[in-house]
Amino acid sequence: MTRLHVDQGPRRRYATQDVNATPAIELRRVTKCFSPSSPPAVTELEFSASPGEVIGMLGENGAGKTTTLRMIAGLIRPSSGQVLVNGYDTQREPARTRRSVGALFGGAVGLYDRLSGSENIRYFAYLNGLSGPDARRCTEELIELLEMQSFAERRVAEYSSGMKQRAALARALVHRPEILLLDEPTTGLDIGSALIVQQFVHRQKSAGKLILLSSHNIEELETLCDRVLIVHGGQLRHVARRDDTGGYDLRGLYTRTMESVR
Amino acid sequence: MRRTLHIARMVFYKELTELLRDYRTVLISIGVPLVLFPALVLVLSVNITRAESAFESGIRVGVVAHDHFDLHDYFAQQELISVQSLSDVAAGSESLAAGDVSTVVISRQWGGAGGPGADAGAGVTLLYDNTDLFSQAAAEYLGALLSAYSDGVRSAQIAELGLSPDSLATLQVELLGLHDPSRSAGTLALSFLIPVLMLVSAALGPLASAADLGAGEKERGTLEPLLGTGASRSALLLGKFGACSVMGLLGMLAFFAGAGLAYLIGPGVFGSDELQFALGPGTVALLVGFAAATVLVLSSLELALSFLARSAKAAQTYFIPVLILSSAAGYGTYMINLEALPLWHYHIPLFNIALILKATVLGRLSLVPLLVTTGWILLYVTCSLAAAHNLLRHEAALRRG
């Protein structure tokens, strides 16, 4: 059983670097244990990623994908190791790193049912420090970008799951973060909504944002991602990259990786 | 600091908007307190009226009389009473149990046998159903009639002896209150009612909001994105605390409005139609201030408990002891003499607030207990908010039930 370490890059000292040379995300031997009696959710995970990349995370349920994303978002602390966002430690500079990150977590999208979609988006704009006019402008732009005009003023309680997912995406993006963490963003969506989300990811990549995307959908990862991290049991098992033709054999790679670790 | 306050304001507006859009929260926090007392008073008024009507339509009295007393004739002459002669005590018990009569009057002969306690000497036994309020009231009414009857018999006997009945009068005792009796009765009633109502309403008012703003956020999955923003935990907590407190104050206002409405609907239910609930403007201002402080204490405590809980249902379980303790603190001031109360009583959580409320109503507020209680109030709020802040900082805050 081999653990692969990828894209480690030169070790940087905390907040002393030229920001342009700093990876947008850097995980240094990150381990997360939720309780002493259970095995670690993530074990010595290391990778880094740069702006303009779309990185996929592929693995079974409980592989550690969501835990990794939550640690990058600063919602949970690593038990050991370091998570750096734009060179800043998420534990030492939580407010600064959170402003650089927009996150959408799987399961419940976490919108306020009794507010409209636009009110939800605007509220998060304020919480992320945008002023009134800025918040309104950004909200309107995102409503247009995610084709939400027809339902943005309705209360979220009346939304379908696709509408909710688009509103949640807009909310994650409203403060113009440089890094987007998307945890299974198309799970449970109809084909139309899934396509809108995928187009949205393409646009964000073109805008130079780093996107970290976890999914169970191999085709989606093949379409969207520059690299795919295959994780199992909280460890990084393999990094799949596009071949010379620009394609992937992600299914084959995943199957072989899983066979080797079982 | 400015940014924290700005975000706290945003959170406050958003939470209040959302809470007021939720008809269930509005119903529980404001609607129920507003209609609770009027509804209770209406029901009680209807029952009182029904009982009065029943009295007015007549009391059926069973009499097991022995020759010594002419009780049967005496009751037959009274208004509202219809008399039924019964052969013995067993027949009386049967009639009472069957509801044929409301009360059975049993006369006892001198040293004779004739019913319960017959060997106790001359007298009358009133047999009534002590699980039935009407029967109880009828027995009391008959007791009063019999006292008047007894006085009449005694006076006649004394007159037969050639003496004036007044010559045997015992010491006449007169009670004279310092204050206007109707007003002092009202103040006394308020000194008990206000601590109870204020503490109960302060605990009930923010309950639904606190459950929604803490555990409710976890349950709906909205806490995770909220904590993922650049907003500080302090700003989020301050905004939520403000919204929760405003809902608590609205709830308390509704509670007192409901109590006032209830008094207008049925003053008789409050014990007397003559009660005067007069409080000076200074006392009212102080009570409003203490009401706000009480709401702040209980809102902060309930919010902290809500963040501790993993689901709204668990939060409601945590709130039960708070409700019980608040009620107990309010009721605990009944029969307490403030003048002789040692200072350590003002160190007991919630009870000290109830004591201060009572002292305010009675116009006996002293500086030292006031300062001690104010200090404790500040400490309660600070500790509760610090606990909530700590819970929000901990990643366990994201765990759902």
Which ipTM did the prediction report?
Answer: 0.79
CB contact under 8 A, B225 and A76: no
Greater confidence (B9 vs A8) lies with: B9
Instruction: Give which of A177, A225, A120 is closest to B18, Cα–Cα.
Output: A120
Task: State the smallest CA–CA distance between residue B322 and chain A in angstroms.
Answer: 28
Task: State the smallest CA–CA distance between residue A179 and chain B in angstroms.
Answer: 13
Show the tokens assigned to B243: 């919204």
Task: Give the model's pLDDT for residue B339.
Answer: 81
Task: Give the model's pLDDT for residue A105.
Answer: 81
Partners of residue B231 in chain A, C-beta under 8 Å: 127-128
Partners of residue B17 in chain A, C-beta under 8 Å: 115
Partners of residue B21 in chain A, C-beta under 8 Å: 114-115
Show the tokens assigned to A186: 């198309």
Task: State the smallest CA–CA distance between residue A62 and chain B in angstroms.
Answer: 16
Residues in chain B predicted with pLDDT less than 50, given as ranges, are 110-119
B21 touches chain A (CB under 8 A): yes
Partners of residue A170 in chain B, C-beta under 8 Å: none
Mutate to test the interface with B, among A112, A159, A169 (most CBs of B within 10 A): A112
Task: Give the model's pLDDT for residue B165.
Answer: 72
Tracing tokens 């780093």 back to the chain, one arrives at: A210
Collapsing DSSP to helix, strand or coil, A132 comes out as: helix
Instruction: Give which of A28, A31, A35, A32 is closest to A11, Cα–Cα.
Output: A28
Task: State the smallest CA–CA distance between residue B20 and chain A in angstroms.
Answer: 10
Task: Give the model's pLDDT for residue B384.
Answer: 95
Collapsing DSSP to helix, strand or coil, A197 comes out as: helix
Strand blocks (E) in B298-375:
none
Chain B window 207-246: which residues touch A at a Cβ cutoff of 8 Å?
A: 220-232
**In whole angstroms, what is the distance from residue B245 CA to residue A121 CA?**
26
Task: Give the model's pLDDT for residue B169.
Answer: 66
For residues A169-195, give the mean pLDDT: 85
Show the tokens assigned to A106: 């799987």
Partners of residue B227 in chain A, C-beta under 8 Å: 75
Partners of residue B395 in chain A, C-beta under 8 Å: 75-77
Partners of residue B224 in chain A, C-beta under 8 Å: 75, 105, 110
Tens of pLDDT, residue by residue over A69-126, are 989 988 888 999 999 988 888 888 887 888 888 888 866 678 899 999 999 999 999 9
Mutate to test the interface with A, among B17, B229, B234, B311 (most CBs of A within 10 A): B229
Q: Does pLDDT of A241 surpass 90?
A: no
Please provide the size of chain B in residues. Answer: 401
Task: State the smallest CA–CA distance between residue A254 and chain B in angstroms.
Answer: 31
Task: Give the model's pLDDT for residue B295.
Answer: 94
Least CB-CB distance to B7: which of A73, A77, A127? A127
**In whole angstroms, what is the distance from residue A86 CA to residue B262 CA?**
64
B281 touches chain A (CB under 8 A): no
CB contact under 8 A, A127 and B223: no
CB contact under 8 A, B225 and A124: yes
Q: How confident is the model at residue A195 (pLDDT cuts 50, 70, 90)?
A: confident
pTM of structure: 0.78
Look up the CATH number of domain B59-165: 3.40.190
Task: Give the model's pLDDT for residue A197.
Answer: 82
Partners of residue B225 in chain A, C-beta under 8 Å: 103, 105, 110, 124, 168, 171-172
For residues A139-159, give the mean pLDDT: 90
Task: Give the model's pLDDT for residue A9.
Answer: 37
Location of each CATH 3.40.190 domain in chain B: 59-165
Task: Give the model's pLDDT for residue B392.
Answer: 85
The domain limits of chain A are 19-108+179-261
CB contact under 8 A, B224 and A75: yes
**In whole angstroms, what is the distance from residue B215 CA to residue B211 CA?**
6
Tracing tokens 């295959």 back to the chain, one arrives at: A230
**In whole angstroms, what is the distance from residue A215 CA to residue A114 CA?**
29
Do B380 and B301 touch, CB atoms closer than 8 A?
yes
Secondary structure of A95-123 as H, E, C letters = HHHHHHEEEECCCCCCCCCCCEHHHHHHH
Task: Give the model's pLDDT for residue B401.
Answer: 52
Task: Give the model's pLDDT for residue A129.
Answer: 85
According to DSSP, the β-strands at A179-183 and A210-214 are parallel
Closest residue in A to B212 (Cα) is A112
Is the domain defined by A19-108+179-261 classed in CATH 3.40.109.10?
Answer: no
Task: Give the model's pLDDT for residue B122.
Answer: 66
CB contact under 8 A, A109 and B14: no
The overall average pLDDT reported for chain A is: 83
Tens of pLDDT, residue by residue over A25-69, are 899 999 998 888 888 888 898 888 888 889 999 888 888 888 999
Task: Give the model's pLDDT for residue A249.
Answer: 79
